[in-house]
Each structure stands twice: as structure tokens, then as C-alpha cells.
Amino acid sequence: MNRKLVNAIANRDGAALSRLSEDRQPSNQPVVNENAERLVNALFRQLKQVFPAAMQTNLRNESDEALAKQQWIAAFAENGIRTKEQLSAGMRQARASESPFWPSPGQFVQWCKQGEALSVGLPTEDELYEMFRDYCKYRGWRDVEWQSNACYWMVTNIHAEMLRQNLTDSEVKKLCSRELKIMAKRIQAGEKIPEPVVQIEKKYTPTDSYESLRQIYYLKEMLKKTDLSFHEWLCESNRKHKKGY
């Protein structure tokens, strides 16, 4: 135990105890850095222009706005929204929104991610999910008109994961979001997305009639349906066929 604390307790020095208590309190360090605060301050100024009704609903006073900014900064930190480019992508989606209401932090995070994907020529999450459904319906990559090489790789990856993990519909939609994020980063890094890989189709080659009959015979032999040799059974089968059995 701290010696000063021991002495204060022994001497019943209330003033000293009070000072020691204050010294042990954590300092009021900002939760986020100044850059994040500046980004959110600038963002809120833009959002107020797009959603002016928020001044009478969500942001009625400075206290409401300060609390809202804390939540938005936390949401950005939790979802990896850190750059001006991401916020600009979100603002493009905000300006295109038909809703007059101030968006939630989660909604704006979604706009940032969608806008980021759109800026590099990728589809929205809903559009990618519809491509996946078409792929499942046609059951073949050749029958799908791919919007881009990136779409081919995302959809086939999603389909493979769906089969491997037996994913539910809601889990597939989450996977669409993840694939878009991964692909957007690849494109932004300058990676050239390869063309679809030609898949060799499996062709059915029918066996000849003799081989088919031989297989039927051995199947019956396995099931103890006949005591004849294969050639005896073949002659008997031909005889019955000619008589119309």
C-alpha cells in the first residue's frame, strides 16, 4: 500500500485522503483522436444540409449533438470507417436517399461501405445477392451474364461457402457484404481481377447394351436373384425380350 495512504489513514487526515483519491482518478483523456473528431464535425455539418429536419428532432441542442457525435465516432471505430474517402462515399449515398430522416450510425456505416464498393464498379449488397440467386437458379456459370470478372469470383466464392458451411439465407447476405469489402480492397490496391476460369463440363457417356446387361446380371447375382451363369442368363433375357415379356 502507498506510504502516504498508510500515514493518512493512521493520522485520520481527511484532506490528505481526499487529495490521494483525486490523484488516483483516471485522467480525462479523449476517447478518440482529434482527427476523428474533426471528420465527424465536418460530416455533421454536411448531413445537416441534407437532413435539415434533424435540427428539430435528433439534434435539438448542443448536448444532443455532442452525445450523437460520440456514438457516431464509436460506430466508425468499430466498423473500420477511418478515411475521408469512406465518408465521402457515405455522403453520396446520403444525398441519394429518399428518406427525410437523419440516418442512424449503422445506416451511415452501411452507406460508406456500399459507396466504397460502387466507386470501384462493384454492385450493391442487394444486387450481389440477386446475382447469387440467379447463379443458383441456372446452376451454371456459363448461363449467367457476368457484370464483371469481380462479380464472377464473388458469386462463385459465395456459392462454394454456402455449400461447404450449409449457410442460411441471412448468413449468405452477410457473406455478400464481406465479399464486397474484400473485393473493393483488392481493386483499390490496383490488383487486376482475373477472368473466369473455364470449367470442364462433365459429360455422360452411356455404356453399350452388352455392358449394361452384364452389370444388371452381376447386380442380380449380388442380390441372389438368379442361379444362372451370365451367358445362360443373357440367352434367357434375349428369349424373353423376343417373346415380349
Would you list the DSSP string of 80-97? T--SHHHHHHHHHHHHH-
Tens digits of residue pLDDT in 161-213: 999 998 999 999 999 989 998 998 899 889 999 988 766 555 555 556 666 76
In the predicted model, what is the mean pLDDT of the chain?
76
Tens digits of residue pLDDT in 144-164: 788 899 999 999 999 999 999
Evaluate if residue 51 carries a pLDDT over 60. yes
Please report the pLDDT score of residue 149 as a whole number: 93
Q: Lowest mean pLDDT of 3-12, 47-56, 78-87, 174-183, name the range.
A: 3-12
Please report the pLDDT score of residue 137 as a whole number: 81
Residue 6: pLDDT band (50, 70, 90) is: low
Cell of 88: 465521402
**Average pLDDT, integer, range 48-68:** 83
123's CB contacts (< 8 A; 6+ apart) are: 117, 131, 147, 151, 180
d(CA 144, CA 5) in angstroms, rounded, equals 76
Evaluate if residue 219 carries a pLDDT over 70. no
Q: Lowest mean pLDDT of 112-121, 220-229, 231-240, name the range.
A: 220-229
Give yes or no for a contact between 102 and 59, defined as CB atoms under 8 angstroms apart: yes
**Average pLDDT, integer, range 131-143:** 76
Domain ranges of the chain: 34-102, 125-188, 209-243
Please report the pLDDT score of residue 208 as a whole number: 62
Highest mean pLDDT among 1-10, 122-131, 133-142: 122-131
Residue count of the chain: 245
Percent of the chain with pLDDT over 70: 66
pTM, 2 dp: 0.50
Whose CA is closest to 95, among 79, 76, 115, 67?
A: 115
Q: Lowest mean pLDDT of 66-70, 131-135, 181-185, 225-229, name the range.
A: 225-229
